[in-house]
Amino acid sequence: MADTEPEPLFDELTKAAARLLRAPDALISVMDETNSFWKSTHGLPEAMRSEVVSDSFCQYVVERGEDLFAEDVRLNEFTRSNPTIETKGVRAWAGCPVEFNGEILGAFCVIDNQLREWTLEDRAVLSTLAGIASREITLRAELADAENVADEATTESARVRSVIDTLRTSLLPPVLPTIPGLGLDAWFAAADNNDMLLGDFYDVFPLGEGRWGLVVGDVCGHGAEAAKLTSLVRYSLRSAAIHHNDPVAVMAEVDAAIRADRLDQGRFATVCYLAIDTRKGISVRWARAGHPFPILASKTGARNCEDANGPPLGIAAVLGSSPWSAGSLVLGPGQRLVVFTDGLTDVRSPQTGDRLGDDNLLALIGRLHAEDETADPTAASDSFMARLTRELETSFSTRPDDVAVVVLGGTVRS
């Protein structure tokens, strides 16, 4: 683990930890006698991938063999002697063990530069994510053992890629429906590691009488397990949407389906589900499960729709019943709603390695939307999605993760 490069799944976990615990930084460390190696980081400089054990806060989790939650590292009996408290600007710190075959390898840590009280919810979420990281390490070890005894021929590799492409296609709708009064467009791009089946997906389906369901989601994991969970989420959500008008009730039913299916308990999904009604204008109600905020673009610019919140599907049982909330809006003429997976903000410049990020994505969507307002209506022009993907392929063409984007309100792509 110490010698391996960053991987999308572990990066998904640290990103989820920072988002769910509302902290700026998160990391997964693996330690030996002298160094703490960072398998994944979120919020920390890309160049920082390790430090000596004496400077690491993760050492205290490994030494104690259990969780550590420090509300103020300057006062905590274990962390107060750390020599890097002031240089790092750490004030609150939390860590849970990351294990392999009963041995603690390191820690899953969340860092805050403000004093804070770690709630029971915070502790449950971080412990769950640390358990997921531990199970993923075990799976990788088992896979490495299998690869050591297997002699994969080139033809077999090509066959696997073909199967992956077929599975990936089966998880996406072959065509988008035509919805009267609503422009609809979608784009999916696989991660640069095209040999790995990840879990990004989107779906649009009718609910009858001018009503439609739209979902964009991302499951934790890859390979057959990711495909299985993606199918479960997609079809469970379709079924739930038929029976429930309330997006929150849909989330609760899909969450229950994931847990009832007895999948690996370490699997979860982030989802944004929209219930669309086109009978009188275009009204949209949505619920989010640990997913990026939809972006609304209008004449005044682009903004995040932050009305709805809730944890990812599959781990809500540790947080209490129905922890989701709903948001709503009326999509007026000249407005667009952009729904996407977090792979979109993770695309990088091949020249500099810089991420697109949340702020730059807002600025890009706002600029492209404004171009429609000033365009000559008699001139032929590309769709909003075509211009968005061209910008990404030009400046941010490196994709460490799958990307799925759906746009409502724009011109339908031909």
Band (pLDDT 50/70/90 cuts) for residue 414 is very low
DSSP letters, 28-46, are: EEEE-SSEEEEEEEESS-T
* Calpha distance 278→276 (Å, rounded): 7
**Does the pLDDT at position 294 exceed 90?**
yes
DSSP letters, 46-86, are: TT--EEEGGG-SHHHHHHHTS-EEES-TTTSTTTTT-TTHH
Kindly report, residue by residue over 381-405, the tens digit of the pLDDT.
568 999 999 999 999 999 988 899 9
Q: Across-strand partners of 204?
A: 214
**Does the pLDDT at position 280 exceed 60?**
yes
- Percent of the chain at pLDDT > 90 equals 46
The pLDDT of 373-379, averaged and rounded, is: 53
Tokens of 256: 């229950």
**Does the pLDDT at position 147 exceed 70?**
no
Unique residue bearing structure tokens 């199970």: 135
b/e per residue, 397-411, with b = 16+ CB within 10 A? eebbbbbbbbbbbbb
Residues 6+ apart with CB under 8 A from 5: none
The pLDDT of 71-92, averaged and rounded, is: 94
The pLDDT of 349-378, averaged and rounded, is: 84
What pLDDT does 413 receive? 35
**Does the pLDDT at position 154 exceed 60?**
no
List strand residue ranges (DSSP E) for 155-235, in order. 184-189, 200-208, 211-219
Strands 184-189 and 25-31: unpaired
251, 255, 260, 266 alpha-carbon torsion, rounded to 10°: 160
Kindly report, residue by residue over 208-267, the tens digit of the pLDDT.
888 999 999 988 766 566 667 777 888 889 889 988 999 999 999 888 888 777 555 567
What pLDDT does 411 receive? 37
The pLDDT of 21-43, averaged and rounded, is: 90
Kindly report, residue by residue over 162-221, the tens digit of the pLDDT.
555 555 555 677 788 888 888 899 998 888 775 554 578 899 999 988 899 999 998 876
Band (pLDDT 50/70/90 cuts) for residue 153 is very low
Q: To the nearest whole number, what is the mean pLDDT of the chain? A: 83
Q: What is residue 131's three-state secondary structure?
A: helix
Residue type, 370: A
What pLDDT does 378 receive? 45
**Does the pLDDT at position 148 exceed 90?**
no
**Does the pLDDT at position 410 exceed 90?**
no
Unique residue bearing structure tokens 């609809």: 184
**Does the pLDDT at position 369 exceed 70?**
yes
Determine the straight-line distance between the first and last CA of the chain, rounded to whole angstroms: 46
The pLDDT of 342-350, averaged and rounded, is: 92
What pLDDT does 279 receive? 87
* Calpha distance 28→110 (Å, rounded): 9
